[in-house]
Amino acid sequence: MDAIGVLLTFPMSSYLEQELDKRFNLFRLWNFPQKNDFFKDNSGSIRAVVANVNVGANRELIDSLPALEIVSCYSVGLDKVDLRHCKQKGIRVTNTPDVLTDDAADLAIGLMLTTLRGISECDRYVRGGLWKKGDFKLTTKFSGKKVGIIGLGRIGTAIAKRAEAFNCPISYYSRSQKPESNYKYFPSVVELASDCDILVVACALTEETRHIINRQVIDALGPKGFLINIGRGPHIDEPELVSALVERRIAGAGLDVYENEPHVPEELFGLDNVVLVPHIGSGTVETRIVMADLVVGNLEAHFSNNPLLTPVV
């Protein structure tokens, strides 16, 4: 397979690059500043694209690669891949579901604890020598809080199970009620937000879920409510969230994702009621290795005419 051209759209993992280099003729797109010249010289030999949440495979890229057969995504999210265009052109698409579920759910719980208990602020308090001047302020208890989850898929369900261990009542919103679930269902996000203490965004990003967290939802969550986002940045109307945090119209937020990554609204940097982490949902050594192996495994399966491991299209 070493003659098969594979295009890597963005630096993702040294391990992934190493494994792709072993098996394929790997092109690193960022090494070619003159994109038009690159595609003119190499488009006919590139039969696969490896994409992620930073740089995917849009219509323009797909149409630039006439020999393209498969897009293998180093992520579970597919919002940067034009799935409809891939389907129309008979291009297969895979992703990395399940393997990052635990990490994403763990992070959601970590953000809840860190945000409600002020752990990041406590750390700064000790490092800044402020403890010598007096005790830290009281924070908010996590155990027993009502947790509302937007999106009860793999990750949402894993978050719910973890939160139950803290005696948190669980409710959810999704496109349709899950008959197999015993959790309380709400038919709208506003109703869910009105009923919970902590609102967690864990759904896929689609046109329907873009800005699913808007001013109405934020106001329904209220001044004692906390918002956690481990989904995608565009799930939240970011200027509305910033103003709500600045004005203390919600109690706090824990954010792993942002609307224009890696750019984060600077108004958030000075606030003590928000915890910011740099999109690390699946960012553990163990999970990234398994994700890379799944990307490579899907490519090997495709080019060996075997069933794909995790097909999407």
If DSSP codes are grouped into helix, strand and coil, which group holds residue 173? strand
State the Cα–Cα distance between residues 114 and 118, nearest whole angstrom.
5
Residue with tokens 């967690």: 200
Identify the three-state secondary structure at position 301. Answer: helix
CA dist 45 → 52, 82, 306 (Å): 21, 21, 21
E strand or H helix that includes residue 116: helix 101-117
- Return the closest-CA partner of residue 257 out of 196, 204, 310: 204
**Residue 194 to residue 217: CA distance in whole angstroms:** 8
Name, in order, each residue with C-beta under 8 angstroms of 177's C-beta and a sequence gap of 6 or more: 185, 187
Residue found by looking up tokens 């190493």 in the block: 18
User: CB-based contacts of 133: which residues, under 8 Å, 6+ apart?
Assistant: none
Vertex 11 angle, CA 7 and 17, to 5°: 65
Q: Which residues contact 40 (CB under 8 A, 6 or more apart)?
A: none
CA angle, corner 46, sides to 44 and 49, nearest 5? 145
Question: Looking at the annotation, which residues are catalytic?
Answer: 232, 261, 279
